[in-house]
C-alpha cells in the first residue's frame, strides 16, 4: 500500500482554500450582505477551535470578489450584480498589544508581504504585484510586495509618518492606500482590515470609538476573537452600535451533518487513494462534538493509522484503534501534553478534572450557561470517591502557567469554564490512568 499524506484531506491549520471549507451556509450568507453594505463593522466571535479564523479567511476571499464558495453553497442568487470589492489586510493580534494605539502602530509596521497594511502603502521603489489567494480560476486579485525597495520600508513619499502621532500616521497610510491602490490601481470599492485574535488585546477601552472614527465607505474593519458576544471583543460597543446592523457573526459549534461533511470533503480530496466505510463519518462527527478542529485531528490520525496497518480503507477497526490510542494518551500529543500539564502528576486532580469535563449542563434557558461547570457538583462526587484536599487541587487548574484548563466565570461564584472546549472533549474521551 502506498503511504497517503493525511494533509491532502485533513488539516489542523486555518482553512484558507475555499474548496476545503465545509458548511456554515448561513454565516456565508451574512458575510455576503455585510461585505456589500457600504459602511459597517464585521464582528466574528465564538469559542476556541470552532472555526472563526477559517471563516475570516473566506471573508477575505469574498472581499476580493472570489465567490466560488458562496456559489457552491447554493447562494449564487444572493451575490449582488455589482459586488463591492476590496483590497485586504489581515493581522493576528497578540497579547503584547496593549491598547488601540498600540494596535494601529503594529499595523503601520507589520512587514508581512501578503497580508500587512504597510505592503499596500505606495512608495518609490517598492515593487507590488497582483496575486490570487485561491486556486479558483475566478479568484479576485490582491496585492503583495515582492521588493520593499532600496530606501527601506519606512521612508515613504506618499504617506507621511507623523512622529508621536500613531492615529494620524495610520490615517495617512490608509488614505494613501485608498487613493493609490484601492481606487487608482485596482479600482476597488474599499479597504478591508481584518483583525483576528482581537480578544487578546489587554486594554480595549476606546477601541470601539477608534474603529468608528476610522470607518468610512472606503475603509471597513472586521474583528474576530474568542467571546460570547460583541461586548467581549469591543467593550465600548455602544459607540459602534450603528455600524453593526449587518455584520454580527457568531460562530457556533458545527451541526453533526456539517462535521460529517468534513469527512466527505476529505474523501473527495483523497480521490481514490483512501476510502471511508459507511458510518465512519457519523462516528467521527459524534466524537468531535461540533468542533471541526477535533474532527480534522481524528481524521488525520485515522489516515496515519491506516498507513501503519497497510490498508486504504478507514473502517471501524481503524477508528477503534485511534480511539484506543486516544484513551491511553498516545493519539494526540498536543492535547495530551496540555492534559498532563494541568493534572501535574496528581491522580486526585486528574479525577477532579474528569469530573469537570463530564459534567452535563442542566437544560437551561440561558445559552450563556452552556459549557460551564460547577465546583460544588464536582466536589460532591470527588468526596464520595475519597479524593482529598480538593481546595489544594484547584489552583493548578486555573493558573495561567499550567494552561490554564479552566477559567473562573467572574459573575458566578464557584463556576468555571473550560478555556479550550476541544481539550474538554478530549478529556471526556480519555481514560483515567
Ligand atoms: N468550515 C470548516 N470546514 C472544515 N474545517 C474547518 C472549518 N472551520 C474550521 N475548520 C477546522 O477547524 C480547525 C480550527 O479552525 P479555526 O478557524 O482555526 O478556529 P478558531 O479560529 O475558531 O480557533 C482547523 O483545523 C480547521 O481546519
Ligand atoms: Mg483563530
pLDDT score of 363: 54
Contact partners, residue 413, CB within 8 Å, separation at least 6: none
Q: What is the pLDDT of residues 376-426, one digit of tens each?
A: 888 888 888 888 888 899 999 999 999 999 999 888 888 999 999 999 999
In the predicted structure, residue 68 carries a pLDDT above the cut 50: yes
Q: Which atom of ligand 1 is nearest to the CA of 49?
A: 23
- Beta-bridge partners for 192: 88, 220
141 phi and psi, to 5 degrees?
-80, 150
Which residues form ligand 1's pocket by a CB distance below 6 Å?
Answer: 11-15, 21-24, 46, 48-54, 262, 292-293, 296
pLDDT score of 2: 84
> Same domain for 221 and 185?
yes
pLDDT score of 351: 93
Domain assignment of residue 48, yes or no:
yes
pLDDT score of 154: 60
Q: Which atom of ligand 1 is nearest to the CA of 58?
A: 1
Distance in Å, CA 183 to ligand 2 centroid: 31
Query: Which ligand is located closest to the Cα atom of residue 14?
Result: 1
Q: Which of 97, 21, 7 is nearest to 53 (CA)?
A: 21
Q: CA dihedral defined by 209, 214, 215, 219, rounded to 10 degrees? A: -150
pLDDT score of 362: 60
pLDDT score of 231: 84
Distance in Å, CA 173 to ligand 2 centroid: 27
Buried b / exposed e over 317-340, threshold 16 CB at 10 Å, is ebbebbbeebeebebbeebbebbe
Domain assignment of residue 11, yes or no:
no
Q: What is the pLDDT of residues 350-364, one digit of tens each?
A: 999 999 999 986 655
**Matching residue, cell 456589500:** 36
Contact partners, residue 366, CB within 8 Å, separation at least 6: none
In the predicted structure, residue 39 carries a pLDDT above the cut 90: no
> Same domain for 72 and 220?
yes
pLDDT score of 236: 82
CA distance 349 to 60: 43
- 264 close to 280: Cβ distance less than 8 angstroms: no
> Model confidence at 168, in pLDDT bands (50, 70, 90)?
very high
Query: Which ligand is located closest to the Cα atom of residue 23?
Result: 1
Query: Which ligand is located closest to the Cα atom of residue 45?
Result: 1
> Same domain for 192 and 291?
no
CATH label of the domain that carries residue 297 = 1.10.8.60
Last residue of a domain, one of 251, 276, 293: 251
Domain assignment of residue 69, yes or no:
yes
> Same domain for 284 and 367?
no
Bond into 362 cis (ω within 30):
no
Q: Percentage of the chain surpassing pLDDT 70?
A: 96
Half-sphere exposure of 307 toward its Cβ, with a 13 Å CA cutoff?
A: 12
DSSP codes, 280-340 = HHHHHHHHHTT-HHHHHHHHHHHHHHHHHTT-SEE-HHHHHHHHHHHHTT-S-HHHHHHHH
Q: CA dihedral defined by 395, 378, 336, 197, rounded to 10 degrees? A: -70
- Largest interatomic CA distance in the chain: 74
- 127 close to 120: Cβ distance less than 8 angstroms: no
Domain assignment of residue 9, yes or no:
no
Last residue of a domain, one of 283, 306, 327: 327
pLDDT score of 365: 46
pLDDT score of 295: 97
Q: Which of 249, 253, 278, 251 is nearest to 263 (CA)?
A: 278
Tell me the average pLDDT of the chain.
91
139 phi and psi, to 5 degrees?
-45, 130
Name the residue at shortest CA distance from atom 19 of ligand 1. Answer: 51
- Beta-bridge partners for 276: 314
Domain assignment of residue 135, yes or no:
yes
- 297 close to 333: Cβ distance less than 8 angstroms: no
Name the residue at shortest CA distance from atom 8 of ligand 1. Answer: 51
pLDDT score of 371: 76
pLDDT score of 45: 94
**What residues make up the domain containing 284?**
256-327
> Same domain for 90 and 173?
yes
> Same domain for 90 and 176?
yes
Once rounded to an integer, what is the mean pLDDT over residues 41-65? 95
pLDDT score of 42: 95
> Same domain for 66 and 43?
yes
CATH label of the domain that carries residue 424 = 1.10.10
pLDDT score of 172: 92
Q: Which of 401, 284, 290 is nearest to 338 (CA)?
A: 401
> Same domain for 205 and 141?
yes
Name the residue at shortest CA distance from atom 6 of ligand 1. Answer: 292
> Same domain for 131 and 262?
no
77 phi and psi, to 5 degrees?
-65, -15
Domain assignment of residue 79, yes or no:
yes
According to DSSP, the β-strands at 127-132 and 141-147 are antiparallel
- 17 close to 135: Cβ distance less than 8 angstroms: yes
Contact partners, residue 222, CB within 8 Å, separation at least 6: 41, 42, 43, 44, 56, 59, 192, 193, 194, 195, 247
CATH label of the domain that carries residue 102 = 3.40.50.300
- 187 close to 167: Cβ distance less than 8 angstroms: no
pLDDT score of 153: 61
Once rounded to an integer, what is the mean pLDDT over residues 202-212? 90
Cell for 407?
477559567
Q: What is the pLDDT of residues 242-289, one digit of tens each?
A: 887 778 999 999 999 999 999 999 999 999 899 999 999 999 999 999
CA distance 25 to 284: 21
Last residue of a domain, one of 230, 251, 272: 251
Domain assignment of residue 1, yes or no:
no
pLDDT score of 171: 94
Contact partners, residue 234, CB within 8 Å, separation at least 6: 43, 204, 207, 208, 211, 223, 240
> Same domain for 97 and 184?
yes
Domain assignment of residue 15, yes or no:
no
| Poorest-pLDDT segment among 144-148, 260-264, 301-305, 326-330 | 144-148
Q: What is the pLDDT of residues 140-161, one digit of tens each?
A: 899 999 988 876 666 567 778 8
> Same domain for 175 and 317?
no
> Same domain for 225 and 314?
no
Please give the span between the terminal C-alpha atoms of the chain, in angstroms, as a whole number.
35
What does DSSP assign to residue 369?
Answer: G
Instruction: Count up the domains in the chain and report the number.
Output: 3
Amino acid at each position: 500500500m502506498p503511504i497517503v499524506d493525511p494533509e491532502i484531506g485533513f488539516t489542523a491549520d486555518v482553512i484558507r482554500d475555499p474548496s476545503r471549507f465545509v458548511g456554515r451556509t448561513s454565516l456565508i450568507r451574512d458575510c455576503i450582505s455585510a461585505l456589500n453594505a457600504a459602511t459597517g463593522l464585521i464582528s466574528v466571535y465564538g469559542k476556541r477551535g470552532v472555526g472563526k479564523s477559517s471563516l475570516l479567511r473566506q471573508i477575505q476571499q469574498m472581499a476580493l470578489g472570489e465567490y466560488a464558495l458562496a456559489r457552491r453553497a447554493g447562494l449564487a442568487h444572493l451575490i449582488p450584480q455589482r459586488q463591492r470589492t476590496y483590497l485586504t489586510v489581515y493581522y493576528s493580534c497578540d497579547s503584547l498589544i496593549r491598547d488601540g494605539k498600540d494596535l494601529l502602530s503594529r499595523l503601520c509596521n507589520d512587514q508581512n508581504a501578503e497580508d500587512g497594511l504597510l505592503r499596500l502603502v505606495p512608495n518609490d521603489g517598492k515593487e507590488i504585484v497582483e496575486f490570487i489567494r485561491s486556486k479558483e480560476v475566478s479568484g479576485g486579485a490582491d496585492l503583495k510586495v515582492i521588493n520593499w525597495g532600496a530606501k527601506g520600508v519606512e521612508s515613504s513619499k506618499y504617506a507621511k509618518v507623523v512622529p508621536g502621532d500613531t492615529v494620524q500616521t495610520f490615517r495617512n497610510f490608509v488614505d494613501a492606500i485608498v487613493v493609490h491602490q484601492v481606487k487608482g490601481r485596482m479600482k476597488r470599492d474599499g479597504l478591508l482590515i481584518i483583525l483576528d485574535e482581537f480578544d487578546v488585546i489587554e486594554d480595549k477601552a476606546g477601541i470601539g470609538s477608534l474603529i468608528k472614527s476610522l470607518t468610512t465607505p472606503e475603509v471597513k474593519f472586521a474583528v474576530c476573537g474568542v467571546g460570547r458576544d460583541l461586548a467581549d471583543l469591543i467593550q465600548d460597543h455602544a459607540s459602534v452600535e450603528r455600524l453593526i446592523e449587518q455584520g454580527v457573526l457568531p460562530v457556533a459549534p458545527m451541526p453533526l451533518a456539517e462535521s460529517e461533511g468534513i469527512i466527505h470533503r476529505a474523501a473527495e480530496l483523497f480521490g481514490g487513494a483512501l476510502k471511508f466505510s459507511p458510518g465512519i463519518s457519523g462516528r467521527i462527527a459524534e466524537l468531535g462534538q461540533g468542533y471541526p478542529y477535533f474532527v480534522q485531528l481524528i481524521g488525520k490520525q485515522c489516515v496515519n493509522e491506516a498507513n501503519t496497518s497497510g490498508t486504504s480503507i478507514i473502517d471501524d477497526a481503524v477508528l477503534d484503534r485511534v480511539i484506543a490510542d486516544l484513551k491511553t494518551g498516545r493519539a494526540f500529543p498536543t492535547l495530551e501534553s496540555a492534559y498532563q500539564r494541568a493534572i501535574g502528576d496528581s491522580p486526585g486532580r486528574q479525577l477532579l478534572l474528569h469530573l469537570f469535563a463530564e459534567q452535563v449542563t442542566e437544560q437551561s434557558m440561558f445559552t450563556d450557561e452552556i459549557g460551564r461547570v460547577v465546583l460544588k457538583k464536582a466536589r460532591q462526587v470527588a468526596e464520595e470517591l475519597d479524593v482529598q484536599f480538593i481546595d489544594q487541587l484547584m489552583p493548578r487548574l486555573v493558573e495561567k502557567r499550567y494552561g490554564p484548563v479552566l477559567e473562573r466565570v467572574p459573575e458566578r461564584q464557584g463556576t468555571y469554564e473550560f478555556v479550550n472546549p476541544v481539550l474538554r472533549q478530549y478529556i471526556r474521551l480519555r481514560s483515567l490512568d
